[in-house]
Amino acid sequence: MRLDYNYVTPNKNCVHNNAALSASCWRELEQYAARMTHLDLSVHSCPSRSAFLAQFLASITPLPSEEATILHAAAIAADGVLLKHGCRLLLRVPWKFVRIAPAQAANDLPHTLGDSIVLGPSFFAQAPQAQLVTLIHEKIHVFQKLLPAQAGLFIASVLGYYHSAPCPGGLRQVLRMRCNPDLDSRLYSRDGLWFPFEQYHVRPHSLRDASLACVRMCQGCGSPAEVSPRAADHGYRYEHPLEEMAYVVSGQLATGTLPPSSAQLL
């Protein structure tokens, strides 16, 4: 098994020094920055999108040998689980990692950018089983980006999401929506009425200062007609079908409960 470790010595003098990142990783980093609202920037303590890009690139760090050993073992274990359940498409997704030291410890959340999984110190502090689940979860997000049609089939046939709507920047600002690099920029719904999303608290200090809410869109005009602070009241536990897929599948794989019909799609 080949694992690619993408890292460079931080260069604070070059905002666009993306030599260590794959083309898709860098492209998604720029797209993520472009979608950020002032609240997204504030939780990263960045005054602008260019400052965020500079901060991210400066946070890329070399992977110590002991962490490389941990990561290699976790990736082998994750692939063993995928092989056991016959997830042939997920097995074809290569392992690519970026190691970061985020400026704010509270923002140390595993995520993906393009074909790469971004990990910080919190991952290496997890127990082995939690590391395995995290890697499978993030690999599913990479799968979603590399094979969107296959992911869309799973989302429609297994999770039952059949409706989506555009989510312009103005709407994100008004509803205090948290931007997530693992997800696309649309809103999704099962019933076509209520669309879940992560809503920042009034004065967020980190990415974790948010809760799951729902918005009901005005039919025809695309404007928000009503916001419900409790998405669970409308049957949602996750902000987006891509996130629900990653949580549900990784959990089922870890517990050996993934249905064969689901495995055939993965």
What tens digit of pLDDT does each residue of 124-138 get? Answer: 999 999 999 999 999
Where exactly are the structural domains of the chain? 3-147, 154-243
Give the per-residue pLDDT at 218: 74
Q: What is the average per-residue pLDDT within 239-262?
A: 95
Give the per-residue pLDDT at 10: 33
DSSP 218: P
- Is the separation of the CB atoms in 118 and 219 below 8 Å? no
**Residue 159 CB neighbours (<10 A):** 17
Give the per-residue pLDDT at 191: 87
Q: Where are the beta strands (DSSP E) in 66-204?
A: 95-99, 111-113, 116-119, 163-166, 186-189, 194-200
Average predicted confidence (pLDDT) for the chain: 86
Burial class of residue 236, CB neighbours in 10 A (0-12, 13-18, 19+): buried
Contacts made by residues 42-47, CB under 8 angstroms, sequence distance 24+: 42/204, 43/104, 43/107, 43/200, 43/204, 43/205, 43/206, 43/207, 43/209, 44/103, 44/104, 44/107, 45/103, 45/104
Give the per-residue pLDDT at 221: 60
Residue 245 Cα distances to 141, 171, 177, 253, angstroms: 9, 25, 20, 12
Whether the predicted pLDDT of 9 surpasses 80: no
Give the per-residue pLDDT at 7: 40
- In tens, the pLDDT along 41-60 reads 999 999 999 999 999 988 98
Percent of the chain at pLDDT > 70 equals 90
Positive or negative: CA dihedral 243, 108, 123, 99: positive
Give the per-residue pLDDT at 163: 87
Does the pTM exceed 0.85? Answer: yes
Give the per-residue pLDDT at 87: 95
What pLDDT band is residue 19 in, cutting at 50, 70 and 90? very low
Q: Which is more confident, 6 or 89? A: 89
Q: What is the average per-residue pLDDT within 4-26?
A: 49
Give the per-residue pLDDT at 164: 85
Whether the predicted pLDDT of 1 surpasses 50: no
